Chain A
């Protein structure tokens, strides 16, 4: 059996011919944007939350990243956060509110608090719930009607997805990160390459990743269309988990680890599809278009739509280049930027900030760039400050902000102005994602930091660290 098969089997509540399987949900994470209508639905139907003890909330998507002691200027955003508070209070759900020392992006705090554990099922009304699969959990994003379903029943009817193994060969070279591996995979299989599948990432390069890196990789699974991404738990996982607030303690810990060790895919496990990726041949990647699959190595150039394989691809590439204001065959390293954003559930954990700070140290951002660092959570922020990373960033001209989703989706005041070009560590370069008319290039934290300093993209592998 595969890791996925084992988790699926362990969570079956009910199976019946011709009906979707009823799957039990161990952990339900909620946030302010996709939950209010679900709670309303509950109230209208006279239902309640079945397992408030398995439900946790945080406010992350629309929160301001500036001084939190001030009232939220945006009245509609404030009402949404207030609604989350009221709903959590009414139904007895623990909330990591915006002034809590544990607040942060939902996909950053779940793992950080030890809520995310191997072998469990996790859902959240957010597509990047795939992040939690890094621990060997089955974690996937759902819509608001399904949020309501899980609140009311702690179960979800699901059709069994197919399984895909992404087998990496070799180790990632120096300067090539989990983000580049993710972008490399999406570039290869396409943004719908894994639709209908749960991906398991395997091989040397994946084993070599820290938990932070694994989260980055699983996070981007949805950008390949996958239902979820998973990595079998191992020593790295257990070491990360040990002692976390909600992790099992004492004897329960030993029992848990023994169970977690049995979760990995069996040697003879059969996947519906296997994709091989030569990790040692990967380079730092930069997206050039308006879909994460429009990606090339930093040493390459903006592709020419004329070279596209199909008419559809050609048309999409043309549209993307027009929106991005790029000319075919421009060297990636000649593309100048106006903004840099280091943040999001993809790349705003401590390791990401450390990597970026290492690049930044001793430099100052280009005079034509403004740059933002938004830690993924308060815990990340505090840990970074203890190490003095905030000063390295501030000295270099970056703004150091309060945690939240921020310019990953620009629901709060952190947005790009029309025409601005941004090197971003987030996960989506869709048209207008970071602000109407804004142009997003997805990169790793080190690549974003280096671009902020140079004012244009540059190959991190040639960086002079100070």
Chain B
């Protein structure tokens, strides 16, 4: 697993609730058998017009958000399909951190597995961050997983929580399958007990 310690980056606001994984990466792009090649199709129906040209109205296409690596969105981000292609697409596009008031379970899990940090903040803080992205061109945040803090350079500073274990895995970039395999004895014992 890719590790995540600290990240400073440009913030892009996506002021929509219930952004589902069908929007993040539409089905016609799920036929690939690799883990790569999804970034260019991220938010496809929103980023591109039906004729395939760039939709200049979509927020990620605005010049000021080019190179953004932190996405801030409204509640229940990543709901719907369990497709891990969604975090793959977000990560390949360049996002390292997603901030929202809440995330769908499977999506949040999938993010951790890909070295991307889903950060839950209270609704008003999320709104405040969105506002700041609009008021300050080039608005950046620094997310520190070790300290579990988020801060900008103009006075916003707050904390977030992820579970101890997930924090540890992400900081170390641990291979969690390898970790489970170290419990081989327990697994075999369990299997034997059920025969």
Contacts and interface: CB of A to CB of B under 8 A. Distances in A.
Given A34-B83, A45-B177, 19 more contacts: A24-B187, A34-B82, A36-B33, A45-B178, A125-B82, A142-B109, A145-B114, A149-B180, A155-B187, A192-B76, A225-B104, A227-B105, A291-B18, A315-B15, A410-B27, A410-B28, A411-B31, A430-B22, A436-B45
B17 to A, nearest CB: 5
B79 A432 contact: no
B63 interface: no
Given A22-B186, A153-B181, A80 B33 contact: yes
Given A126-B82, A411-B27, A13 B33 contact: no
Given A37-B34, A80-B33, A418-B50, A146 B23 contact: no
B106 interface: yes
A12 B187 CA distance: 10
A191 interface: yes
A143 B113 contact: yes
Interface string B154-177: 000000000111000000000111
A437 interface: yes
A263 B82 CA distance: 28
A225 B165 CA distance: 23
A13 B32 CA distance: 35
A45 B179 CA distance: 13
B104 A149 contact: no
Interface pairs A-B: 9 shortest CB-CB = A36-B33, A145-B113, A143-B110, A143-B84, A144-B84, A192-B76, A127-B82, A141-B82, A76-B31
A319 interface: yes
Contacts, number: 166
Contact of A437 (B50, B76, B176, B191): B50
Interface in A409-466: 409-411, 418, 428, 430-433, 436-437
A37 B33 contact: yes
Interface residues of B, number: 52
B113 A14 contact: no
A149 B176 CA distance: 8
A148 B177 contact: yes
B104 A195 contact: yes
Contact of B76 (A61, A141, A191): A191
Given A312-B75, A316-B16, A79 B33 contact: yes
B102 interface: yes
25 contacts: A18-B164, A34-B82, A36-B33, A40-B33, A40-B34, A76-B32, A79-B31, A125-B82, A141-B82, A144-B35, A144-B84, A144-B85, A145-B110, A149-B177, A153-B180, A155-B183, A192-B18, A195-B104, A409-B27, A428-B81, A430-B20, A430-B80, A431-B23, A432-B22, A437-B50
Interface of B: 15-18, 20, 22-23, 26-28, 30-35, 45, 50, 74-76, 79-85, 87, 102, 104-106, 109-110, 113-114, 163-165, 175-181, 183, 186-187, 190-191
Given A159-B163, A411-B30, A195 B76 contact: yes
Given A145-B84, A155-B187, A436-B26, A19 B165 contact: yes
A33 interface: yes
A319 B33 CA distance: 34
A41 to B, nearest CB: 8
B106 A13 contact: no
Contacts of B175: 45
B164 to A, nearest CB: 5
Given A127-B106, A430-B20, A432-B26, A157 B180 contact: yes
Contacts of A346: none
A153 B177 contact: yes
A192 B80 contact: no
B128 to A, nearest CB: 15
A401 to B, nearest CB: 18
Contacts of B104: 192, 195, 225
A187 to B, nearest CB: 14
A20 B187 CA distance: 15
A153 B26 contact: no
Interface string A131-152: 0000000000111111011001
Contacts of B15: 315
B152 to A, nearest CB: 23
A83 interface: yes
Interface string A71-88: 000101101100100000
Contacts of B17: 312, 316
Q: Which of B17, B31, B84: most chain A CB closer than 10 A?
A: B31
B23 A432 contact: yes
Given A127-B80, A191-B18, A152 B35 contact: no
B147 to A, nearest CB: 19
B180 A141 contact: no
A143 B110 CA distance: 6
Nearest to A291: B18
Nearest to B194: A24
A445 B146 CA distance: 51
A50 B191 CA distance: 12
A191 B79 contact: yes
Interface in A170-201: 191-192, 195-196
A316 B190 CA distance: 48
A237 interface: no
A62 B31 contact: yes
A65 interface: no
A154 interface: yes
Nearest to A409: B27
Contacts of B180: 22, 149, 152-153, 155, 157
